[in-house]
Amino acid sequence: MFTYTVSVSTGKQEFAETINDIYLTLVGTESCSDRTLLDKSVVDHFARGSVVSVDINVKEILGDIVLVKLEKEKILFNDHWYCRSISVTTPSGDCVQFPCYRWIDFEKEVVLRDDKDRLSQDDNMKEYRRMELESRQLLFRWKEWHPGFPMSIDANSSTELPLDIQFEAAKSVDFSLNYITAIKNLGLNKFLKLSSWKDVADFEKIFVKIKNTVSEYVMQNWNKDYFFGYQFLNGCNPVVIRKCMNLPDKFAVTQEMVQGSLDRGLTLQEELKTGNIYIADYAILAGVQANATDPDTKQYLAAPFCLLYKNSQNEILPIAIQLSRQTTAGVGNTVFLPSDNQYDWMLAKMWVKYADFSVHQLVTHLLRTHLISEVFAIAMYRQLAAVHPVFKLLIPHVRFTIAINTAAREKLICKSGLFDKANGTGGIGIAEVIQKAMKTLTYKSLCFPEAMKARGVDNKEDLPNYYYRDDGMMVWEAVKSFVSDVVKIYYGSDETVQEDEEIQAFVQDVCFSGMKNCPKDCEFPNSLKTREQLVEYLTVVIFTASAQHAAVNFGQFDWFAWIPNSPSTMRKPPPTQKGQVDMKYIMDSLPDRGRSSWHLGAVWALSQYQDEELFLGVYPDKHFTEQSVIEATKTFRKKLGEVINIIKSRNEKLKLPYCYLSPDRIPNSVAI
């Protein structure tokens, strides 16, 4: 008799008193063990974080252990338990690891491969690889949730998702409960009655229980032009501002209008050529139907232009705002200026921030982090085997993404969902904005350096104090360096990339299935020819899910809590003439008490980290065991630590620190 000791490491479940029969089979190169029923007394000891061991006796040596097969029967009820990994100690004393990191449900058979990483072309067990992917493709099916959107998972509710990608606690994705809890915790229940505020100062009433340095700074400085401009660089939507070399045709601004705002003694045309003029253009909102889900309250949208000027003190200041875009200049194309009366200028800036909030919510945040990351996640599960090194590289960065998006489609952005309660782009507007944004979405716009260059904001000397850009570049380079190290370990040449059928299938699935509603010129690769292309692609996947999402998500409460700074809707039409606005009109335009409360509860809930959040570079599940990758991961963490220190040192000198892209504040994945 020969004895193999099998150690099973469990996790996540608190206890497992009712686990049904579990069978285990060892498969070696020479032979396999009998299907062995794990002793019930051993199974009953399965608990969170425990390790239990059993001996399997065989009559002959099995050879090299290459597979472990698990089966769990379903009797009267279905139960499940989480297996972290299995190790097998052979009679000679060798120990072979079999990573699992999945829930074991009632299934015919779960086959675990050993911990060696294998490209598809180098695997001598292709049949098991094929069976694994075919099984996953049945679970991870594409579905068009709404015409014109990126494709999503084929599931109508969170409970329909594969067990391995569900949230561990249902309350984590109960948006209704989270919003109501937030409203209660923030002391907002008394404000839910739908009536207008009387004065801007009234909004301070909903700050009673708020202790937040940034949001309080916003409350104190929101109406100052320098701070209005600052938010285009380092607020919650720092991706709209772009250098303006030529004024848009429908923008009726003239030299005479802005001359008093230019402090270098140059004309507007000269400032344009010099590169000191920037613009925020919300053309995507033109023609979008405002939220009409509440028949008692009419809501309005606009598609503003906002011209910004970098003055001699390197401040970004608004110098002209136009709220409409008629085909010809006229009364409808009124240009509001800092020299106008305080109410005209205040309301014009509010309309810009309202447009900015709307674009942030649906384009910057929802589409360009959540939905894009889900496409990458689904394609990964469908096309990359668990032993593929790229699967192991990416899996921490897709954690809970499909689950949070499914919950959002179920309760948040669905018809009559929670998004409709406070937002002017609710209702049909959600689909209209996403569909328009998809028509201009490109792969290169997800490459951080390319995105900066395309907007003309990549030069630090031209545009200083752009911390989103500066920190983003550091994190991008750290991620890219790590990905490059891993790619070089497994891909010895460009030909190796070309021969990897699973990688090619992965990018094809993203291009032809997940992003099929993008235009033909969207540039999403349908194949990868070089290691350099593979590195960039994987950097995009990781950066989008981690850093980009962190930059545009976790500051929502900071920047949007003070309602006048970022209204979620407007209840009066945008002004078309000057001198007709007073404070009452402004207060009647801003969200009423009920919508303000829902808005505040929403941005608070969305800004919270998950319980037991895992931050960038923290990978507790040991998918990789190759020493070279372990060393690359250590190097990655060291570089991230250096970035943290640089950001911390800079922030100590700032009145308002910028922390959203500090790696210790960046979760690995889109999970909220």
* pLDDT tens sequence across 528-582: 999 999 999 999 999 999 999 999 999 999 999 999 999 999 999 999 999 999 9
Over 80: is that where the pLDDT of 146 sits? yes
Contacts of 415 by beta carbon, 8 Å cutoff, 6+ apart: none
Establish whether 80 is an annotated binding residue: no
Q: What is the pTM of this model?
A: 0.95
Q: How far apart are CA 295 and CA 574, in angstroms?
A: 20
Which one-letter amino acid corresponds to residue 507?
V
> Is pLDDT above 90 for 610?
no
Backbone angles phi, psi at 542, to 5 degrees: -70, -45
Q: 557: helix, coil or strand?
A: helix
Q: Where are the beta strands (DSSP E) in 273-315?
A: 277-281, 305-310
193 CB neighbour count, 10 Å cutoff: 10
Enter the tokens of residue 81.
Answer: 């338990």
Residue 263: the pLDDT is: 95
- Which residues make up the CATH 2.60.60.20 domain(s) of the chain? 2-115
**pLDDT tens readout for residues 85-94:** 999 999 999 9
DSSP state of 494: H
Contact 332, 324 (CB under 8 A): yes
How confident is residue 514, by pLDDT bands cut at 50, 70 and 90?
A: very high
Please state the rounded mean pLDDT for residues 124-151.
96
Q: What's the pLDDT band for 595 if we cut at 50, 70, 90?
A: confident
Residue 163 has pLDDT above 80, yes or no: yes
Closest CA to 276 of 241, 316, 304: 316
Q: What are the start and end residues of each CATH 1.20.245.10 domain in the chain?
A: 137-239+367-671
625: left (phi over 0), alpha (psi -120 to 50) or beta: alpha
Interval 424-458: pLDDT, tens: 999 999 999 999 999 999 999 999 999 999 999 99
pLDDT at 427: 94
Burial of 111 (0-12, 13-18, 19+ CB in 10 A): middle
Calpha distance 588→462 (Å, rounded): 40
Q: What residue type is 585 in one-letter code?
A: Y
| pLDDT for the residue 172 | 55
Could you please state the CATH topology (level 3) that the domain comprising 137-239+367-671 is classified under: Lipoxygenase-1; domain 5 (1.20.245)
Q: State yes or no: 549 annotated in a binding site.
A: yes
Residue 79 assigned as binding residue: yes
Tell me the DSSP string of 417-429: -GGGGT-TT-THH
What region does 618 belong to: left with phi over 0, alpha with psi -120 to 50, or beta? beta
User: How many whole angstroms separate alpha carbon 99 and alpha carbon 394?
Assistant: 15
Contacts for 567 with CB less than 8 Å, ≥ 6 apart: 350, 353, 354, 357, 589, 590, 591
Q: How many helices (H) and strands (E) does the chain have?
A: 22, 15
CA 404 centroid distance within chain? 10
Say whether 153 counts as a known binding-site residue.
no
Residues near 53 by beta carbon (within 8 Å), at least 6 away in sequence? 5, 6, 7, 8
Whether residue 623 is annotated as binding a ligand: the answer is no
Question: Residue 402, annotated ligand binder?
Answer: no
Paired tokens of 113: 């491969």
Q: Whole-angstrom distance between the N-terminal and C-terminal Cα of the chain?
A: 53
The pLDDT-based confidence of 28 (bands split at 50, 70, 90) is: very high
User: Domain 2-115's class?
Assistant: mainly beta
Mean pLDDT of 35-50: 66
% pLDDT > 70, the chain: 90
For residues 426 and 413, the answer to whether their CB atoms sit within 8 Å is no
- Residue owning tokens 């945040």: 365
